[in-house]
Amino acid sequence: MSRAEIQVQDLHKSFGDNHVLRGIDLEIGQGEVVCVIGPSGSGKSTLLRCVNLLEEPTGGRVFVGGTELTDPDVDIDAVRRRIGMVFQQFNLFPHLNATENLTLPQRRVLGRDKATAARIAAENLARVGLADKARAYPSSLSGGQQQRVAIARALAMGPEVMLFDEPTSALDPELVGDVLAVMRRLAEEGMTMMVVTHEMTFAREVADRVVFMDGGVIVEEGGPGQVIGAPRHERTRHFLSRLLDPAMAEVEEEAPDQVGGSGE
Amino acid sequence: MTDTGTALQPKRKGLTRRQRRGLSRAVQYAVFAAAVIAFAVAADWGRLKNQFAQGDIARQMFPEVITLALKNTVLYTLSGFVVGLVLGMVIALMRLSSVGPYRWVAGVYIEIFRGLPALLIFIFVGVAVPLAFPGTQIPGGTYGKVAIALGLVSAAYMAETIRAGIQAVPKGQMEAARSLGFSPARAMVSIIVPQAFRIILPPLTNELVLLFKDSSLVLFLGVTLEERELSKYGRDLASTTANSTPILVAGLCYLLVTVPLGYVVRRMESRSQEAIR
């Protein structure tokens, strides 16, 4: 963790009157894996999307690899090439097969020649365990396979940082494991990762640091053993108990944890 | 037609539902059979055959009706389609532009050219423009004029179709492309438009069928013998032979193209239904 790969300073984001992010400060070092957890509407996905400027922050600054993304004169396309993004809904290009999903961006964006792009595509499909699906179209793949192709597509661009936006939330439960295994391997290989997730087991075992967000602010952060194992804040405890045992939740008169973090 | 049965339903309390359904069907078949018989008896078959189905007149139309008339119809249609597609693409992108004046100009164009009859556009291109600007030559002669007139008309419809197609591509596709480092323009060309065209292939083919029929309006531009298409050719021959057979043959030639195209459209539509699942 020599230098900060991702730096977020006093980040604010509003959608109209809805103040979703209320001053976020976060640093993620090189090779660090940070999981962001929190209830829905807490702003965690918005934070992630601000890190590659898919959402334009209302205030504050974002740096990735030393380049300021929030600088109006920055070449955003050039910076984004260094940031891989994996979406909840996969967002594979449905008119292209798995290999073409990986080669088209390499060729159009990075200007790699056909042979090089094909070689790198094959390497990355093998890396996510889908070498045998090279010619399959997204519609013929399971959700888990589609998400692994999406990870391979991002990796083929050679990113320095990977962002994951609830990568397993749209998957059938029995398919989650394959995707998490790929992410775990990636973490072991030293990739800098920022992961918005509800998978507490993954966060506990893989993350170097866990960030709990609620109401547009970071409530607490620290090692997974501390934040998930022994949370200091009542809101964190409340969230975790509901997540780990949904059946235990009681009907609440007023939801105290929903104060600033209203609807999605 | 079908309401003969349903209208009976509330009153006939005496019949079971199954009986009522049987009665309703019987009435509908009976009405149809009566109409067919009445037509067969009333029609003057000899006269119809003489007027519309004279074998020797039909024979003398070949091969020219195909090699000249149908060929020209196809040429006019395709040239108009290409102009309309290119212009329509530009207008659709203007309509989706973030720059206000572009959106405004595209909107006005679409409103104007969807609201005017195609015939008026033909007269505008063929008569009004040469009158207003004497000496201007539209390149390609009649072919150029038809391409422009049909292109102007169809561009308005195609622009709306293309815009709808682009907007039907999920937002995540643009986000995925941008997150990979595509510029907005490059993402549009490489990722969004190819998907949009898959979505709009059936309506675009429908537009081709409409253009195929509208190409008959070239009649009003005044064409040389060599430039005649199906409708004009059929009409000319009908007047020289004082017989309607050429009209029938010309009509069949249109159907020769439009019916298979319609079939292709339905195939594509049902296939895209399956793709959505």
Distance, CA of A174 to CA of A97 (rounded, Å): 24
Identify from A69, A87, A91, A101 which residue to disrupt to test chain B contact, counting B C-beta atoms within 10 A and taking the largest count: A91
- pTM, two decimal places: 0.79
DSSP annotation of B268 reads H
Contact (CB<8Å) A81/B177: no
Gap from B265 CA to chain A (nearest CA, Å):
20
Instruction: Give me the count of residues in chain A.
Output: 264
Query: Which two three-digit tokens encode residue A196?
Result: 């918005």
CATH 3.30.450.20, applies to B56-276 = no
The pLDDT of residue A263: 40
Pairing of strands A4-15, A83-86: unpaired
Contact list in B for residue A77 (CB cut-off 8 A) is 178, 181-183
| Residue among B55, B87, B33 at smallest CA distance from B249 | B55
Over the stretch B177-198, which tens digit does the pLDDT of each residue have? 999 999 999 999 999 999 998 8
> Nearest residue of B to residue A154 by CA position?
B180
Q: Which two tokens stand for residue B114?
A: 């969807």
Please name the residues between 153 and 212 in chain A that touch chain B, using a CB distance below 8 Å: 153-154, 157
Give me chain B's average pLDDT, please: 86
Among the listed residues A28, A63, A77, A5, the one whose alpha carbon sits nearest the alpha carbon of residue A195? A28
Closest partner residue to B173 among A83, A93, A150, by Cβ? A93
The 3-state DSSP class for residue B206 equals helix
Q: Which residues pair with A211 in a beta bridge?
A: A36, A221
Whether residue A254 has pLDDT greater than 60: no
Element (H, E) at A11: strand A4-15
Phi, psi of A83 (to 5 degrees): -120, 115
Give per-residue pLDDT as tens, A156-213: 999 999 999 999 999 998 889 999 999 999 999 999 999 999 999 999 999 999 999 9
Q: In chain B, where are the structural domains located? A: 56-276
CA A258 to chain centre: 23
For chain A, how far is it from start to end, CA to CA, in angstroms?
A: 34
Q: Which residue of B has its CA nearest to A139?
A: B275
Nearest one of A85, A106, A149, A164 to B174, comparing CA atoms: A85
Cα(A230)–Cα(A245) distance, integer angstroms: 16
* Interface predicted TM-score of the whole assembly (ipTM), two decimals: 0.88
Contact A93 B275 (CB under 8 A): no
- Given a cut of 50, whether residue B260 has pLDDT beyond it is yes
